[in-house]
Amino acid sequence: MGTATLTVRQTGAALADAAGDESLMLRIRSGETATLAELFERHNRQVYGFFYRMTGSREMSEDLVQEVFLRILRYRETYQPKTSFSAWMYGIARNALIDMMRKRRPEATFDDSGPEIPAREPSVDDRLRSQQEVKMVRRALASLPADKREVLILARYQDLKYDEIGRILGCEANAVKQRVFRAVKALGERFAEMSGRAS
């Protein structure tokens, strides 16, 4: 099976998922609020991942996931058909995070003891080195200013398109592209400093 075939299938699956999200959201808007459970099943892991990468706190991330889906229910009338559900949902997630950080700013800390990324049976040395690098990337990401961390997580970890991120952040796709580039550069510099590879 060629790369082009895979890409077409992946694109088709992504479009079907997006259409499914819109359909579910429209049912919620029309009063079928029990449908929220299906949206939750489809998206809670990605939303949790966004919050965990932003805050480093499991407990806070879990609380925020619940808050997002409550807000989806509360603000269901604001969802516009034919627009990206993901962009709308992450806009809600971003606002929930901002609200919580305002309330809890002094106690927010970064916990880097999360599960490691599984690897294919490497040697013990390779495994230790890989674990150390994963932790260092997490610390480097956590040390970035919130605006750089946010755009990087949305683009690289949540797989949102630049125009979707632009809708969330209120700017053009080209501006998002520049922000992502600067954030990746800053992350690389922080990682190099932490690993002692800075020139």
pLDDT higher than 50, residue 12: no
Residue 174 phi, psi (nearest 5): -65, -35
User: 138 and 145 in contact (C-beta within 8 Å)?
Assistant: no
Q: 163 pLDDT exceeds 60? A: yes
pLDDT of residue 117: 36
**How large is the greatest C-alpha to C-alpha distance in the chain, in angstroms?**
59
- Does residue 166 share a domain with residue 76? no
Average pLDDT over residues 28-53: 91
Domain termination site, one of 87, 111, 135: 111
Mean pLDDT for the stretch of residues 108-118? 43
What is the pLDDT at residue 168? 92
d(CA 123, CA 121): 7
pLDDT at residue 11 greater than cutoff 80:
no
Based on the fold, state whether residues 100 and 131 are members of the same structural domain.
Answer: no
Whether 91 and 138 map to the same domain: the answer is no
User: Does residue 141 share a domain with residue 98?
Assistant: no
Averaged pLDDT, 83-104: 90
**Structure confidence at residue 127 (pLDDT):** 61
**Residues 64 and 142 placed together within one structural domain of the fold:** no
- 104 and 134 belong to one structural domain: no
Between 195 and 13, residue with greater pLDDT: 195
Domain range enclosing 87: 1-111
8 Å CB contact between 180 and 198: no
Contacts of residue 197, Cβ cutoff 8 Å, sequence gap at least 6: 191
> Do 62 and 100 have their domain in common?
yes
Same domain, 134 and 190: yes
More confident residue, 1 or 137: 137
Q: What is the mean pLDDT of residues 158-167?
A: 90
Backbone angles phi, psi at 23, to 5 degrees: -60, -45
Say whether pLDDT at 140 is over 60: yes
**What's the domain count of the chain?**
2
Once rounded to an integer, what is the mean pLDDT over residues 101-111? 60
Candidates 65, 34, 11, 161; CA nearest to 19 is: 11
What is the chain's percent helix, strand, coil content, to nearest 5? 80, 0, 20
- 149 and 58 in a single domain? The answer is no
Q: Which two three-digit tokens encode residue 100?
A: 């919580």
| pLDDT level of residue 198 (50, 70, 90 thresholds) | low
Residues 2 and 87 in one domain: yes
pTM equals 0.67
